[in-house]
């Protein structure tokens, strides 16, 4: 008897808040009884939006999908910082932002247009000497993370101070949390990411994605 072959599918999933990307993969693998399944680009637990899951022979396309540009929407908060640059960790510092204007915010963001050197967050999945950076960060240890070249292709900011809504199109490897940190530092008041949603990866858009519940109402893909 021949062994069952996993269907070759590219699934567009709207990842829910507080789920890890692996949680989504695990749910799909278990529900559809798949052996070969993976995702094309991690989303943080506190981010929502487009997660692409590939099954069967389509897993060979994961790297190509990951290389595509990404689009995000979200919100940053000025005048406060956290160690993780988002709400995973507690707010540490608060600064007065009464002197910050919408024009200052737009001017600061211009420094981060095009190709830039970006230092990833300490709370990230990057491996340093075999360990994930976030594992050291959660123990209060700081690791040295080298700057990376990333491209900010488009950035739209909609300030409603102290919050700033945004839409960003960027290259692979871009950490929106780090971009938020850098804008806050450029303004001299700090900032953290309060909400993030991935809306597009290359040609794949969030409008075509399904929720976990919608995906798992059927017994087969």
For the ranges 4-8, 51-55, 125-129, 153-157, the lowest mean pLDDT is seen at 125-129
Tell which CATH architecture fits domain 70-200.
Answer: 2-Layer Sandwich (3.30)
For residue 131 the two structure tokens come to 């360990």
Judge whether 44 counts as a catalytic residue.
Answer: yes
For the cut 70, the answer to whether the pLDDT of residue 82 exceeds it is: yes
Instruction: Quote the pLDDT of residue 122.
Output: 75
Say what the pTM is: 0.91
pLDDT digits over 115-152, tens only?
Answer: 999 988 876 666 766 666 666 566 666 676 788 999 99
φ/ψ of 65, rounded to 5, equals -65, -40
CATH top class, domain 9-67+202-215: alpha beta
pLDDT digits over 172-219, tens only?
Answer: 999 999 999 999 999 999 999 999 999 999 999 999 999 999 999 987
Instruction: Quote the pLDDT of residue 1.
Output: 36
Q: Which of 44, 45, 70, 173 is nearest to 120 (CA)?
A: 173
Q: Which of 133, 130, 135, 154 is nearest to 143 (CA)?
A: 133
| Catalytic residue selected from 6, 14, 44, 182 | 44
The answer to whether the CB of 161 falls within 8 A of the CB of 153 is no
Provide the strand spans (E) within 79-186. 80-81, 93-94, 114-118, 127-128, 131-132, 148-160, 163-170
Q: Domain ranges in the chain?
A: 9-67+202-215, 70-200
Taking residue 30's Cβ as centre, other Cβ atoms within 10 Å add up to 11
Quote the CA–CA distance of 43 and 195 in Å, as a whole number.
Answer: 12
């Amino acid at each position: 008897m021949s062994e069952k072959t996993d269907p070759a599918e590219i699934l567009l999933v709207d990842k829910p808040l507080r789920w890890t990307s692996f949680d989504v993969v695990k749910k799909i693998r278990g529900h559809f009884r798949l052996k070969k399944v993976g995702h094309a680009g991690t989303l943080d637990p506190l981010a929502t939006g487009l997660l692409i899951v590939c099954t069967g022979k389509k897993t060979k396309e994961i790297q190509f999908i990951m290389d595509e540009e990404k689009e995000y929407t979200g919100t940053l908060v000025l005048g406060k910082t956290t160690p993780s640059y988002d709400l995973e960790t507690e707010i540490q510092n608060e600064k007065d932002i009464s002197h910050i204007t919408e024009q200052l915010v737009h001017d600061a963001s211009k420094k981060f247009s095009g190709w830039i050197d970006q230092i990833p967050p300490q709370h990230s999945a990057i491996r340093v000497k075999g360990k994930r950076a976030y594992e050291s960060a959660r123990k209060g240890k700081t690791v040295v993370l080298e700057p990376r070249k990333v491209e900010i292709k488009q950035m739209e900011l909609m300030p409603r101070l102290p919050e700033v809504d945004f839409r960003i199109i960027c290259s692979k490897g871009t950490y929106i949390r780090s971009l938020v940190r850098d804008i806050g530092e450029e303004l001299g008041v700090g900032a953290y990411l309060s909400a993030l949603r991935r809306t597009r990866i290359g040609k794949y858009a969030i409008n075509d994605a399904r929720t976990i519940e919608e995906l798992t109402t059927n017994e087969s893909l």
